[in-house]
Amino acid sequence: MTGIKSHTIRIWEKRYGILQPGRSDTNIRFYTNEDLKKLLNVSFLNQHGLKISRIAEMSEEEIRLKVQALNLSEFSDATLIESLMVAMIELNESLFRNVLHTATLRYGFEQVAVLVIFPFFQRIGIMWQTGVINPAQEHFVSNIVRNMIIGATEALDYHPDPALKKVVLLLPESELHEIGLLFYNYVLRIHNYPTLYLGQIVPLDSMERILEITTPDALICSVTNALNAGDIDILIRRIAVTYKGPVFVCGSALSACEAPMPANVSRFSRAAELLQLLAAL
């Protein structure tokens, strides 16, 4: 979860007393959310040049204040993610927004999304699956990021180019996680593609009627629900039949689908790939 090797964590525990994990009945270490938060802060300070021996002498409050005092302009992708993790665990909205805002001013929103936000959500996805965080913490950060992407999209000087392909973006039935799709809509609008964003849980029968009205040149879908491979394959084939034009699909659930894609369906995993697919139409 922290990116620190278990061997290193144990050295820090035994030699410096950084952590004092509990033990199971079979003598296996276990760690609390507070342990995780402290370890993220310790790693952050260590990456910024403080020796472990010095950090071990600091109180919890001193560690917290030192982390907050560090200049955000010195953050790497990894330390940005660690700071977001701490903010999520603490449900600290001001810290979470401050980290993203400062990084956005320095690098631009698109770079921050690719290098920080998406890797961050990959890590908390694992944490959610293993019970380290609860759904409320995941919803807390998801709503902040969702609103940031919507705000960034609305702030664009957007002029749809009729010479470019018209695109509809949607999440099919049962799909709720829209951050990735919102980001791709943002990127397409940067390049002035005419887009229509339909959002979450669009039933296939509604999709068919909407596509008849809008007559897009391409359809973009995201599949993130943990369906089994067979269900994902059926869903994608139903979409491909409903819309017979080019369909571009993304999402973490696709990794479980090994069946060949229908002829009109292409996978993508990055904004650059999506732009290439559209340019080739």
How high is the pLDDT of residue 247? 94
Decide: helix, strand or coil at residue 173. Answer: coil
Domains of the chain: 6-154 (no CATH), 167-279 (3.40.50.280)
- pTM for the model: 0.73
Residue 63: partners with Cβ closer than 8 Å, 6 or more residues away: 38, 41, 42, 45, 55
Q: Is pLDDT above 90 for 278?
A: yes
pLDDT digits (tens, 9 = 90+) for 154-201: 999 999 999 999 999 998 877 778 888 999 999 999 999 999 999 888
Q: Is pLDDT above 90 for 46?
A: no
Q: What is the mean predicted confidence (pLDDT) over 27-33? A: 85
Residue type (1 letter), 138 = E
Q: What is the mean predicted confidence (pLDDT) over 41-61? A: 84
Q: What is the mean predicted confidence (pLDDT) over 117-133? A: 73
Spatial separation of the C-alpha atoms in residues 57 and 66, rounded to whole Å? 13
Residue 4: partners with Cβ closer than 8 Å, 6 or more residues away: 39, 43
Confidence of residue 110 (pLDDT cuts 50, 70, 90): confident
Q: What is the mean predicted confidence (pLDDT) over 98-118? A: 86
Q: What is the mean predicted confidence (pLDDT) over 127-153? A: 83
Confidence of residue 259 (pLDDT cuts 50, 70, 90): confident
Helices 77-90 and 93-107, axial angle in degrees (round to 10): 160
Q: What is the mean predicted confidence (pLDDT) over 226-247? A: 80
Asked whether the CA dihedral 11, 14, 15, 21 is positive or negative, the reply is positive
Tell me 117's DSSP state. Answer: I
The HSE-up count of residue 195 (CA atoms within 13 Å, CB side) is 25
Q: Is pLDDT above 60 for 266?
A: yes
Q: Is pLDDT above 60 for 135?
A: yes
Range 114-143 burial, b when 16+ CB lie within 10 A, else e: bbbbbebbebbbebeeeebbeeebbebbbe
Q: What is the mean predicted confidence (pLDDT) over 126-150? A: 81
Q: Is pLDDT above 70 for 115?
A: yes
Average pLDDT of the chain, as a whole number: 84
Highest mean pLDDT among 36-45, 93-102, 250-259: 93-102
Spatial separation of the C-alpha atoms in residues 52 and 38, rounded to whole Å? 13
Q: What is the mean predicted confidence (pLDDT) over 26-33? A: 85
How high is the pLDDT of residue 237? 87
CB count in 10 Å sphere of residue 226: 11
| Residue 4 CB-density burial (10 A; 0-12 exposed, 13-18 middle, 19+ buried) | middle
Q: Which of 1, 28, 183 lies closest to 88 in space, CA to CA?
A: 1
How high is the pLDDT of residue 70? 65
Specify whether the CB–CB gap between 88 and 96 falls below 8 A.
yes
How high is the pLDDT of residue 190? 94
Q: Is pLDDT above 60 for 246?
A: yes
How high is the pLDDT of residue 76? 64
